[in-house]
């Protein structure tokens, strides 16, 4: 009964029975998981509206709630609508007879990835490299933890992500909500964000991190800003964001110093000046219709990394209408951006990081074959920590201590256990990627990068294959 943070269960003294208010249940599975006798089952129960393929229960419920409140409907996590998931229509190749597959248990397999701008050409003299290289960050595997702000996720959840990034030799992104001082010790494994709110962005913040990322947009809510309500601005959140306790933290929709590619370039170089040209600067955008042209502009504006977040990317809070209707799938955006940058001969100038709903190691390797250098995982990392995708993050009542605002609920996440689970996940995916590479007869992830010959489409239309740059199977 106490496990439920959504007040579903109550004890009726008179009847000596537990009663449940079923309509409040969000299906987070906390009670069922923690029931000592396994007595609880959570079943889907739709309201008994008359069946209607057009007016589905979700529409009716939303209309009724909006008629009551007059407000925008909020939600959490990523788009849950059945748009086509292209990963499920792309199949990988394997070696048979003509080139032998490789056993990853016996042969070394290279997953190491460097993010940062690569030179157009290298010049040597007397065996020494003359070309000045742009700053690079080294990842042991092409998987990074996406931006999740402290305040949206709990202290323990962010701690677990940072510890796991350090242990795995990869990076974790602070999100735009600042960077708690105690976590600066993880600097070598941290990407900090500079977004429209500029929360906590100061000299130390920029210089302690490995990468600085300018956040233009995110897949779950392209084109709109954010707003952390004053109630969630606790003393530590206030210190991290550098705003007074209890005030609203507002992230305007655009960064008001960026109205053009030239303005973006000005900010990129301001950040490079502020960090003495020692750190790669990333620019994160939501995958939108014109992503290839925008990405070309970003590359020319001087960014070292472009992160693209697809329509299925998660969030702590977003208007549902935006989450479910704005943006395009990462598969199409990634393939189109990679092709455009190649055609323009500037693909080497930036690393591409894809984000937005990566569910398995297969999705990751397919993204790399479509042109990504690495992949951001957010939702998968939360699921590893215990999340059940109940989509209630914005309520602050997360029953798993991941996005909970209530300090008692927040204690439910043990950061060391969560770290272990994250590390296990990344290790497991890395092993699986090695297995798949071995099966293709390849021993380095580099050989798959942008190599669409390793992919074949099934059940896709002509235009989809063309956008993806992939041939149909058979």
Partner 1 sequence: MLREDSALSDRVLSIDTSGVYYRDLNKMLREGVAKGAREFVLRGVTGQRYIGTGLVERVSIKIFGTPGNDLGAFMDGPSIEVFGNAQDGLGNTMNSGKIVVHGNAGDLLGMAMRGGKIFVKGDAGCRSAIHMKEYRDMRPTVVIGGTARDFFAEYMAGGEVVLLGLTLPPGVRHSCAFMGTGMHGGRIYIRGAIDPSKLGKGVIIQELSEPDWETVKARVAEFAAYFDMDAGAILSAPFVKLCPASTRPYGVLYAGRN
252's contact among partner 1, ligand SF4, none, with CB below 5 to 8 A by partner kind, is partner 1
Decide which of ligand SF4, partner 1, none touches 403; Cβ closer than 5 to 8 Å per partner kind: ligand SF4
**Closest CB 329 distance from ligand SF4, rounded Å:** 21
243 binds partner 1, rule: CB under 8 A: yes
- Smallest gap from Cβ 473 to ligand SF4, in A, equals 35
The CA-based diameter of the chain, rounded to the nearest angstrom, is 91
**15 φ/ψ sector (left φ>0, alpha ψ -120 to 50, else beta):** alpha
Residue pair 147/284 in contact by the 8 Å Cβ criterion: yes
Q: How many CB atoms lie within 10 A of CB 158?
A: 26
CB of residue 202 to partner 1, shortest distance in Å: 5
Which stretches of the chain bind ligand SF4, using CB under 6 A? Answer: 3-4, 6, 8, 25-31, 42, 76-77, 382, 387-393, 398-400, 402-403
Bridge-based pairing state of the strands 351-355 and 305-309: parallel
Q: Select 63 or 453, whichever has its Cβ closest to partner 1.
A: 63
CA 214 to chain centre: 15
> Using the rule CB under 8 A, is 197 a contact of partner 1?
yes
Count of CB atoms situated within 10 Å of the CB of 236: 16
266 binds partner 1 (CB under 8 A): yes
Is residue 241 within 8 Å of residue 177, measured between CB atoms? yes
The CA distance from 306 to 193, in Å, is: 13
Q: Calculate the alpha carbon distances from 355 to 166, 172, 288, 334, 448 in Å.
A: 20, 13, 13, 9, 18
Q: Rule CB under 8 A: is residue 21 a binding residue for partner 1?
A: no
Cβ closest to ligand SF4, residue 31 vs residue 423: 31
392 binds partner 1 (CB under 8 A): yes
**How many residues in the chain?**
474
* Distance (Å) of CA 366 to CA 103, 358, 433: 20, 10, 10
From the list ligand SF4, partner 1, none, partner contacted by residue 244 (C-beta under 5 to 8 A by kind): partner 1
For partner 1, which is the closer residue by CB, 260 or 424?
A: 260
Binds 28, which of ligand SF4, partner 1, none (CB < 5 to 8 A, cut-off by type)?
ligand SF4
Question: Which CB atom, from 8 or from 268, has the smaller least distance to ligand SF4?
Answer: 8
Q: Is 474 helix (H, G, I), strand (E, B) or coil?
A: coil
Distances (CA, A) of 152 to 6, 103, 377, 392, 406: 18, 42, 16, 12, 12
Q: Is 219 helix (H, G, I), strand (E, B) or coil?
A: coil
Our CB check for ligand SF4 shows the closer of 296 and 388 to be 388
> Binding partner of residue 227 among partner 1, ligand SF4, none, CB under 5 to 8 Å per kind?
partner 1
Whole-angstrom distance, CA of residue 468 vs CA of residue 462: 10
Rounded to the nearest angstrom, the gap between the alpha carbon of residue 166 and the centroid of all alpha carbons in its chain is 18
CB of 450 to partner 1, least distance (A): 32
Binding string, 49-78, against partner 1, x = CB under 8 A? -------------x--xx-xxxxxxxx---
> Residue 65 or 123: which CB sits closer to ligand SF4?
65
Angle between helices 155-168 and 415-440 (to 10 degrees): 40
Residue 399 binds which entry of ligand SF4, partner 1, none, CB below 5-8 Å type-dependent: ligand SF4
CB of 160 to partner 1, least distance (A): 27
214 or 410: CB nearest ligand SF4:
410
Q: In whole angstroms, how close is the CB of 41 to ligand SF4 at the nearest point? A: 10
203 binding partner 1? (CB under 8 A):
yes
If one asks whether residue 223 binds partner 1 (CB under 8 A), the answer comes out as: no
Q: Exposed, middle or buried by CB within 10 Å (0-12, 13-18, 19+), for 230? A: middle
Residue 74 binds which entry of ligand SF4, partner 1, none, with Cβ cut-offs from 5 to 8 Å by kind?
Answer: partner 1
- Shorter beta-carbon distance to ligand SF4: residue 240 or 388: 388
What whole-number distance in Å separates Cα of residue 296 and Cα of residue 298?
A: 5
Query: How far is Cα 276 from Cα 403, in angstroms, rounded to an integer?
Result: 35
- The pattern of x and - marking residues 299 through 328 that bind partner 1 according to CB under 8 A reads --------------------xx--------
Q: Report d(CA 1, CA 66) in Å as an integer.
A: 30
Nearest to 252 by CA among 224, 274, 279, 212: 224
Minimal distance, residue 243 CB to partner 1, in Å: 5
Among 93, 146, 391, 430, contact with partner 1 (rule: CB under 8 A): 391
Q: State which residue, 81 or 123, has the beta carbon closest to ligand SF4.
A: 81
What is the nearest approach in angstroms of ligand SF4 to the Cβ of residue 467?
A: 31
Which residue, 312, 311, 315, is CA-closest to 148? 315
Are 395 and 385 within 8 A, CB to CB? no
Residues near partner 1 (CB under 8 A) are: 26, 62, 65-66, 68-75, 194, 196-198, 201-203, 206, 227, 229-230, 238-239, 242-244, 247-248, 250, 252, 256-257, 266-267, 269-271, 273-276, 319-320, 391-392, 395
């Amino acid at each position: 009964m106490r496990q439920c943070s959504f007040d579903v269960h109550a004890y009726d003294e008179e009847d000596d029975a537990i009663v449940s208010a079923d309509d409040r249940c969000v299906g987070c599975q906390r009670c069922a998981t923690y029931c000592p006798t396994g007595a609880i089952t959570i079943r889907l129960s739709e309201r008994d509206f008359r069946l209607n393929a057009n007016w589905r229960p979700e529409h009716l419920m939303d209309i009724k709630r909006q008629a009551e409140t007059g407000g925008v409907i909020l939600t959490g996590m990523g788009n849950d609508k059945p748009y086509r998931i292209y990963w499920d229509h792309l199949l990988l190749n394997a070696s048979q007879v003509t080139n032998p597959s490789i056993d990853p248990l016996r042969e070394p397999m290279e997953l190491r990835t460097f993010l940062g701008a690569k030179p157009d050409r290298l010049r040597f003299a007397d065996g020494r490299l003359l070309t000045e290289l742009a700053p690079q960050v080294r990842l042991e595997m092409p998987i990074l933890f996406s931006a999740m702000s402290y305040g949206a996720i709990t202290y323990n959840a962010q701690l677990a992500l940072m510890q796991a990034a350090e242990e795995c030799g990869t990076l974790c992104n602070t999100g735009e909500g600042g960077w708690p001082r105690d976590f600066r010790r993880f600097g070598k494994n941290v990407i900090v964000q500079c977004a429209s709110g500029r929360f906590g962005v100061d000299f130390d913040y920029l210089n302690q991190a490995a990468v600085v990322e300018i956040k233009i947009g995110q897949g779950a809510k392209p084109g709109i800003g954010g707003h952390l309500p004053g109630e969630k601005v606790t003393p530590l959140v206030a210190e991290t964001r550098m705003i007074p306790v209890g005030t609203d933290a507002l992230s305007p929709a655009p960064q008001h110093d960026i109205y053009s590619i030239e303005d973006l370039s000005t900010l990129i170089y301001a950040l490079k000046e502020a960090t003495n040209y020692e750190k790669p600067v990333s620019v994160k955008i939501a995958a939108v219709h014109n992503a290839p042209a925008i990405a070309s502009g970003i590359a020319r504006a001087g960014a070292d990394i472009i992160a693209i977040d697809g329509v299925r990317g998660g969030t702590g809070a977003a208007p549902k209408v935006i989450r479910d209707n704005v943006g395009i799938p990462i598969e199409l955006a990634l393939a189109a951006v990679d092709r455009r940058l190649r055609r323009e001969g500037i693909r080497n100038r930036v690393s591409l990081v894809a984000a937005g709903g990566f569910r398995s190691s297969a999705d990751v390797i397919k993204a790399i074959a479509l042109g990504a250098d690495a992949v951001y995982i957010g939702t998968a990392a939360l699921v590893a920590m215990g999340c059940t995708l109940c989509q209630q993050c914005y309520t602050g009542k997360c029953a798993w201590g991941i996005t909970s605002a209530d300090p008692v609920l927040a204690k439910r996440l043990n950061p060391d256990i969560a770290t272990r689970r994250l590390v296990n996940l990344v290790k497991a995916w890395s092993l699986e990627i090695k297995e798949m590479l071995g099966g293709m007869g390849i021993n380095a992830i580099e050989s798959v990068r942008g190599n669409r010959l390793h992919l074949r489409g099934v059940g896709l239309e002509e235009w989809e294959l063309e956008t993806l740059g992939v041939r149909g199977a058979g």
